[in-house]
Chain A
Amino acid sequence: MIYEWIVVGGGIQGCTIAAFLMKNNKVSASQLLIIDPMKHRYTVGPRQQK
């Protein structure tokens, strides 16, 4: 399949843009992929790759 949008990095900005795209009906959940090394996390501050 070809996704409509892929967001690389699921931090503050990545999740914000994902929410924006979905809430404005630019994309449905099935056409959007967020790729991040972490299991989902949603808080401010840095996180580091181990």
Chain B
Amino acid sequence: MIEMKFLRSPSVHHLDVEPFSLRKYADDQNRKKSDFYGVYKRPSLELFNEHSQALFRNLNMKSCWHQGFVNGVDREDASWTISTVAGNRFKTKNVVLALSVNGQLNIPEWASNLEAHSHQLFHIYDEAADLTKMKPSIAVVGGGISAAHLVISPSSG
């Protein structure tokens, strides 16, 4: 639902180790000045993604990738056993959980009651919701960056 040409964060925020890695990448690739925005030099999403992909390629991270959904972490003797929904098991000495909170939409109880009755209540990250089809009046509950970001598009378009 939210689109962005430039990241919200400055160019030192990226996946690589060196703080200026993204700036250096842009220089090496002869990227235009317009790939950075404003005093904080916010990178374009396109540049950010390209830089991430380059890092991914250079480290051959594809070879480390297993497509699957983890549903179990168990301690067995001196190692961890990680299980996936598809039934794969992997043993490892160290585990990092980097799951984030975005996988499951958090819809409060009072809101889920409304949802059942109206079909007019949506979570911002509900992929099935089409905001462009919403008609006023519209209320946004929550006042963070994503809320602000969200209301710019209907009010300017």
Contact = CB atoms under 8 A, between A and B. Distances in A.
- Interface SS, B side: mixed
A44 B62 contact: no
Interface string B143-155: 0000000000000
Nearest to A2: B91
Interface of B: 2, 7, 15-17, 45, 48-49, 52-53, 55-56, 59-70, 73, 79-80, 82, 84, 90-100, 102-105, 125, 127
29 contacts: A2-B93, A5-B93, A6-B80, A7-B95, A8-B97, A8-B98, A10-B65, A11-B100, A15-B52, A15-B61, A17-B98, A18-B64, A29-B63, A34-B61, A34-B64, A34-B65, A34-B66, A35-B70, A36-B65, A36-B66, A39-B67, A40-B56, A40-B62, A40-B65, A43-B49, A46-B125, A48-B125, A49-B103, A49-B104
